[in-house]
Amino acid sequence: MRKLGTLTYFFVILISSNITSADTTDKQPNQIQTESEKLQWIIESAKNSEKKAPELNVTKPQKKEPASIKKNTPQDSKLTPTLNKTDSGAIEKTVPDDTNTTDNIQHPEQTPLDQIDQTIPPENIPTADVAETSEQPEKFDISKQTFNDDKEKGLAIIKEVDRRDTGWQDSQAKLTMILKNRHGDEHSRKLKMKIMEVKGDGDKSLSIFNSPRDIKGTAFLSFTHALDPDEQWLYLPAIKRVKRISSRNKSGPYLGSEFAFEDLSSFEVAKYDYKYIKDEIYDGIDCFVIEAYPLYEHSGYTKLVLWIDKNRYILLKTDYYDRKNSLLKTQTFHGYKQYLDQYWRPDEMRMVNHTNGKSTILLWKEYQFRKGLTKRSFDKNALKRAR
Amino acid sequence: MLLNEHDKNMKTLVNLLIFLLLPIQALSALEISGYVGVEDLVFTQNPLDNRQHNNYVSGVIEPEIYHEWDDGTQNFAFVPFFRYSQHDSRRTHFDIRELNWMKIAESWELRVGIREIFWGVTESQHLVNIINQTDLVENMDTEDKLGQPMINLALINDWGTLDLFILPGFRERTFPGVEGRMRILPIDIDNARFEKNGFERHMAYAFRWSQTLGDWDIGFSHFYGTNRDPLFLLDSDRAGNLRIIPFYEMVNQTGLDVQVTKDAWLWKLEAIFRSSKTFNYFASTFGFEYTFFNIRETGLDIGVLAEYLYDSRGRNIQTLFEDDFFVALRFALNDTQSTEILAGIVLDRTTSAKFYNIEASRRFGDSWKLEIEARFLAGIPKDDPAYMLRDDDHIRMELSYHF
């Protein structure tokens, strides 16, 4: 019975650590019945996680992790002409897609009076207005250009998507993955992702797993290349071992989810051939529909069909066609917000697998940009101590 | 599922307790994680020594307390470990796996305290991995290590990472006790002998240079100090009972580890040259791992592993793998439960002795994990050191809760 004291002590450790890992929201995803409850839950979690009061359109200083800008000029100012204006602080604009909520707004550290957050109700997104208010570079006008064929037009649109998403230098975010099977069973994974832009090559990324707890501390380092094989290392904390792994596994599931490794690796224009198909209204938004054909080896897909917002040049939906050219999966992007006055990031991505009835939801939060990450943040030493 | 229900109940309980324990949590910005587990170790044959048993139940806990500050450029980690085992008093053991502080700068990292270091690339054995002592009583697969005190300065440059180590405090290997299995005679650790005593016994020094050059990951290392691998001396005590005494020599070991990653192939090589008063020898493990990824779009990966194990000392009482082949299959289902199976055989080319090893693991719910290991020996000749384990075929099952 002498052991009892020790055991009690261990039990206390067990409980208190559970608290550290427990969700801040009362409601778990598996208790949620309807779509609106689901959205409410997502909003609540976002609010709770940012410890923010739900006031509407109120600008106030936010201490916790704003998407602040360092005062360094972008390396290529031609590519990002609006960035110099934003030195005083970042603004974020919320354009809700399928929600009527207007309280999910992030507040910058110091927002000048003339840069108050704007929230535009979804039914009246006059597309030209959005472009105007967000002060996007508008030198690119697809209607004023002529193309020899739809391939050229598709490539031009993708290049514009890529151009507008260049210059953020580095970013990091927290990610919750919710895996659902056809019986409604749910499992979640929590991880942190850090990404660094590499000029003239693919991005470097580091994913750090926090849950399930048995793989806590496991980390995945990837140097993406457009057509050359990626370089990848995995750190296994239980045996302190860094393993170089084969990057051939493009089509395999990422952490048991419906996302394949290739769905989450960084986007490079040169990875695909493109073809413009048509214009189409998707979810009330005017879109280009473009097909992308993977050029890299070992892709699990014959083609991807992309719905790209004509005004913001961001991806709203992707259909994935498998090697037999039948529709395998559909990915949709929700809750886009703008960071550093330029870069759009979704709060949520949903992937539905049409063949096995499983789906995966990715909830992104606490996006941060330009935190001064260097190549040292993406080496094997960093991999071993990643948290 | 039952375990899911349990998880939900745990969460509710935790939510209730948050209000009570919130002040405690606020006080400590420490991150606490780790696991507790119960293990059953079952031997399928009767023991050679009637003091040994056929079934051992044990419990284990390994919490981790972690804190980082200074924008993540400094951190502290504390990982104590404790296993309580039925019957075998030597297997009931406590260790500090980690207790260290780390400072991170752009071109260097300084790590001071008790840590564990892994070097190497092969799967069947880890020749170059010499920094930490093996915790053999924890698991005979030699993958578990005792915490090693160290000062480690890593210099990080474009030409690679150079790790410099000062290793004060020698740790002796752990062995099963009188009532434990996987021994022929109890190893008399109380009478362990050393080539050097005092300060010299306790100090070791090492460096390792490592670099990635395209598809190549290369490591080159040297170690000087008390050998982590003891030699075994047969002796008799005053009463005339035979006993085995570990003898720790001073060694110089130079090691090379290389992995070439080409498409789905991993080509691996580890080689060491080790010199001491008793032996100057060369040993190497080399081979490949080829993986068939995402077979028929099911997510299943099957890896084929083959390695050759060589030791220039040849057939010798001190070495198990002198001319052996290792082949194995690795199954990774990549499912929600992260189910994995590794099944392998080590085959001695000269004696045809076989060592079978199967390891499987699967998660249940979000926090539970079940691991099963089975190890069997067949055809061991009398003059092989593994002969002492001929009746120690066993299955090990561990169920753990991760927090």
Q: B372: distance to nearest CA of chain A, Å?
A: 15
CB contact A82 to B (< 8 Å): no
Q: What is the C-alpha separation between A224 and A302, in angstroms, rounded? A: 21
* Residue range A159-184: mean pLDDT, rounded: 95
How sure is the predictor about A127, in pLDDT bands with cuts at 50, 70 and 90?
A: very low
> Which of B36, B129, B293, B363 to substitute to test the interface with A, most A CBs within 10 Å?
B293
Residue by residue, what is the 3-state secondary structure of B298-320?
CCCEEEEEEEEEEECCCCCCCCC
Mapped onto helix, strand or coil, the DSSP state of residue A73 is coil
CB contact A379 to B (< 8 Å): yes
> C-alpha dihedral over A266, A269, A275, A280, to 10 degrees?
50
* Per-residue pLDDT tens over the stretch B285-313: 999 999 999 999 899 999 999 999 999 99
Contacts of A23 in chain B (CB under 8 A): 11
* Residue range A161-185: mean pLDDT, rounded: 94
Q: What is the C-alpha separation between A80 and A103, in angstroms, rounded? A: 29
Residue A86 has pLDDT above 90, yes or no: no
- Within 10 angstroms of residue B64's Cβ, the number of other Cβ atoms is 22
Q: Which residue of B has its CA nearest to A190?
A: B366
How sure is the predictor about B236, in pLDDT bands with cuts at 50, 70 and 90?
A: confident
Count of domains forming chain B: 1
**pLDDT greater at residue B19 or residue B280:** B280
What local confidence, expressed as pLDDT, does residue A101 receive?
40
The β-bridge relationship of strands A348-353 and A327-334 is antiparallel
Of A28, A240, A252, the CB nearest to B293: A252
Q: Which residue of A has its CA nearest to B303?
A: A246
Residue B337 to residue A256, Cβ atoms within 8 A = yes
What local confidence, expressed as pLDDT, does residue B361 receive?
97
CATH value at residue B210: 2.40.160.10
Residue A240 to residue B118, Cβ atoms within 8 A = yes
Helix axes A3-21, B2-27, angle to 10 degrees: 90
* H or E element in which residue B395 lies: strand B394-402
Q: Tell me the torsion sign for CA atoms A111, A114, A116, A117.
A: negative
The β-bridge relationship of strands B242-248 and B193-194 is parallel
> Which of A244, A324, A358 to substitute to test the interface with B, most B CBs within 10 Å?
A244
Contacts of A28 in chain B (CB under 8 A): 8, 11
* Per-residue pLDDT tens over the stretch A251-299: 999 999 999 999 998 888 999 999 999 999 999 999 999 999 999 889 9
User: How far is CA A152 from each of CA A144, A146, A290, B227, B342, rounded to the nearest angstrom?
Assistant: 14, 9, 11, 66, 49
Residue B291 to residue A17, Cβ atoms within 8 A = no
Range of the domain at B238: 2-402
Quote the ipTM score.
0.91
**pLDDT greater at residue A291 or residue A112:** A291
**Omega before residue A112 within 30° of 0, cis:** no
CB contact B259 to A (< 8 Å): yes
The interface residues of chain A toward chain B in range 187-216, judged by CB-CB distance below 8 A, are 187-188, 211-216
Angle at the Cα of B82 from the Cα atoms of B78 and B85, rounded to 5 degrees: 170
> Residue A117's closest CA among A50, A62, A49, A161?
A62
The amino acid occupying position B227 is N
How sure is the predictor about A47, in pLDDT bands with cuts at 50, 70 and 90?
A: very low
* Per-residue pLDDT tens over the stretch A213-250: 999 999 999 999 988 889 999 999 999 999 999 999 89
Q: A11: distance to nearest CA of chain B, Å?
A: 10
- Within 10 angstroms of residue A182's Cβ, the number of other Cβ atoms is 10
* Backbone dihedral region for residue A65 (phi beyond 0: left; psi -120 to 50: alpha; all else: beta): left
CB contact B69 to A (< 8 Å): no
